[in-house]
Amino acid sequence: MRAAVFHQHGDPGVVVVEQMDDPSPGPGEVRIRVEAASLNHLDLWLRRGIPVDIPMPHIGGSDVAGVVEAVGEGADPGWVGRRVVADPSVGYDWYELARFPGPPPTPYTVVGEHTQGGFAEFATAPAANLVEAPSHVSCETAAAAALAGVTAWRGLMSRGALRAGERVLVTGASGGVSTMAIQFAKAAGAEVFALTSPDWAEQVQALGADRVFDRTDAAWGKEVYLASGKRGVDLCLDSVGQAIWERLVRALAVGGRLVSFGATTGPVGDVDIRLLFWRQLSILGSTMGTPAEFREAMGQVFAGVATPPVHRVFPLEETRAAHELLEAGGVFGKVVVKP
């Protein structure tokens, strides 16, 4: 099969397309003929060399959609021929099991990180991770929604406990997770504020944001405060981190929740502890999601409640260019690779 791989860490130039052996599905697994796979910032971090053990040479791509071609021992042969999207998290209900004493029974892994991923003509995944994609949803849409959708759903609904009528602020609003979060929050009956570059203001508003604030304007925090009737926001879903952390905490209403799923501008956030206790605030971490949350999120996509914006689709041979585009910024939504 053809696959986009890197043999060493580095800039996008290390990504090459070459022939590799077709993967064989192991026990409980299926082999998928990949129709689409989408990029995440995780793919950039892995290529650069974050301290995670990954198989080398490495095939990235956590979001895989396509047609099941073969099954391994113990997997239901009824999957063969069906269009599917795979949950990128491997380690069933790891998040829930981790709450109990002792280690989870299986290690938590991510497709395309700890295993080989979907930037290839074929990929394997556990049969338990499969969700059938309806005919009216393209594989490009299904792949683009997978990791971004479950991350947004868990951050808003499970960790953030968003309720109808609340006011939510979504930062980095042009990103894959954030574009899904805006749609989920709007459908849940929230008033949606969004923080983004002025280049994407119209697109963000078209997704359902009620108010869009210019992240390049130093006064955006004050504008959020005034737009909220000097009350603040009930929930903030953030991936930006350090550069705006202090202002985000100040933007929260009494009893507000700040949910972090990323730190693109740095890992250290300043917090005025007096605000934390005086306003009864909560700061929560969130990433990826459980199998149940994945199915909730994809159900919203299949029902047309939320659709991931696809900025551009690249052929497999141009996976390096896809890395370059995402790394350079200026992407609205998702970048997809199609074998």
Q: Which residues have a Cβ under 8 Å from the Cβ of 28 and sit 6 or more positions away? A: 72, 73, 74, 75, 126, 127, 128
Contact indicator for 90, 108 with CB cutoff of 8 Å: yes
Q: Which residues of the chain have pLDDT under 50?
A: none
- Output b/e per residue, 276-292; b: 16+ Cβ within 10 A: eeebebbbbebbbbbbe
CA dihedral 313, 319, 322, 324 (to 10 degrees): -170
Note whether 2-146+289-338 and 161-285 share their fold.
Answer: yes
Q: What is the pLDDT of residue 94?
A: 57
Tell if the pTM clears 0.85, that is, is over it: yes
Q: What is the pLDDT of residues 160-190, one digit of tens each?
A: 999 999 999 999 999 999 999 999 999 999 9
Bond before 101 cis per omega within 30 degrees:
no
Residue range 161-285 in CATH 3.90.180.10: yes
SS3 208: coil
Residue range 2-146+289-338 in CATH 1.10.10.10: no
Q: What is the pLDDT of residue 108?
A: 76
What are the domain boundaries of the chain? 2-146+289-338, 161-285
DSSP 295: H
Contact indicator for 336, 36 with CB cutoff of 8 Å: yes
User: What's the alpha-carbon Rg for the chain, to the nearest Å?
Assistant: 20
Structure tokens at 285: 């971490």
CA dihedral 6, 7, 12, 17 (to 10 degrees): -50
Contact indicator for 87, 150 with CB cutoff of 8 Å: yes
Q: What is the pLDDT of residue 90?
A: 81
Q: What is the pLDDT of residue 210?
A: 98
Structure tokens at 159: 């960790």
* CA geometry: angle 118, 121, 125, nearest 5 deg: 45
> Which of 245, 293, 325 has the alpha carbon at shortest distance from 87?
293
Q: What is the pLDDT of residue 91?
A: 67
Q: What is the pLDDT of residue 105?
A: 60
* Helix pair 139-153, 176-187: axis angle to 10 deg: 70
Average pLDDT, the chain: 95
